[in-house]
Amino acid sequence: MQDSLPHFMEEMGIPGISGIDTRALTKKLRSRGTMKGAIIDATDDLEHAFDQLHATVLSDQLVAKVSTTKPYPNPGTKKNIVLIDFGVKHSILRELAARDCNTIVLPYTATAQDILKLHPDGVLLSNGPGDPEMMTEAVAMVAEIQEHLPVFGICLGHQILARANGAKTFKMKFGHRGFNHPVRENATGRIMFTSQNHGYAVDPASIDPEKLIVTHTEINDNVVEGIKHRHYPAFSVQFHPDAAPGPMDAVDLFDDFLQMIDMRKEDKTNA
């Protein structure tokens, strides 16, 4: 069966837009930063539409809208990983499955006690939307869990790990979007091209050098793109290593996470 795209979208209740000057829209966003927007019909009353848009209050509880409400497994036979779902992408689960990890996905509301009673080998903090400053309970959870288990954070998970160690975050004017953001690995000078989609970032001036090391930096604007804890087996990156940037420039970070788990087990055995 064949169907036209407009008819399919109408049947599925999906809004669409065409015929706009995307260059003009891009210039407006580049000069004014991120703004609210609305898609309306050409016949709609513009003044009324603007009034509705200005009156719209955007929720600051975006993670609650996208996180799972119940735990679920992504089975494997090797390392036991707890993945905290702040808005996780399936590509992260695929990378863990490719390494035969036995993953349990928990809601964003999971506490340190919820995690510890599962006896995982490590914890992965997923990507997700919204302001990390709103994630106070998750920050408290990470501050406790990093003392007991290896932690790997991605995107929002990176910002939460930073805040759990006293750093602050801020709203960027434009944010980072797309597959072509060059990031420097500070220890080696290696440049990788990364996939990014975030509107908040870690404030470098707020990082306590006694706790955290900045491991990665965005070349174009010096945004903090990665951190590592000096005392705990915990690290994070602002970009998405699962999203095939480069296309394989950053995927080895999952291997680094699993290796960190092995090293911690060896340290505990030899202690």
Nearest to 86 by CA among 114, 145, 123, 128: 128
Q: What's the CA gap between 230 and 210, in Å, rounded? A: 7
Question: Distance between CA 235 and CA 256 in Å, rounded?
Answer: 10
Point out the catalytic residue in the list 176, 181, 216, 240: 240
**Which one of 101, 176, 181, 242 is the catalytic residue?**
242
Peptide bond into 247 cis (omega under 30): yes
Give dist(CA 97, CA 93) in Å, integer: 6
Strand partners, 237: 154, 226
Is 242 labeled as catalytic in the residue annotation? yes
Q: Among residues 101, 155, 181, 216, which one is catalytic?
A: 155
Q: Does 148 qualify as catalytic in the annotation?
A: no
CB 220 within 8 A of CB 175: no
Amino acid at 218: E
Count Cα neighbours of 163 within 13 Å in the Cβ-side half-sphere: 22
- Catalytic residue numbers read 155, 240, 242
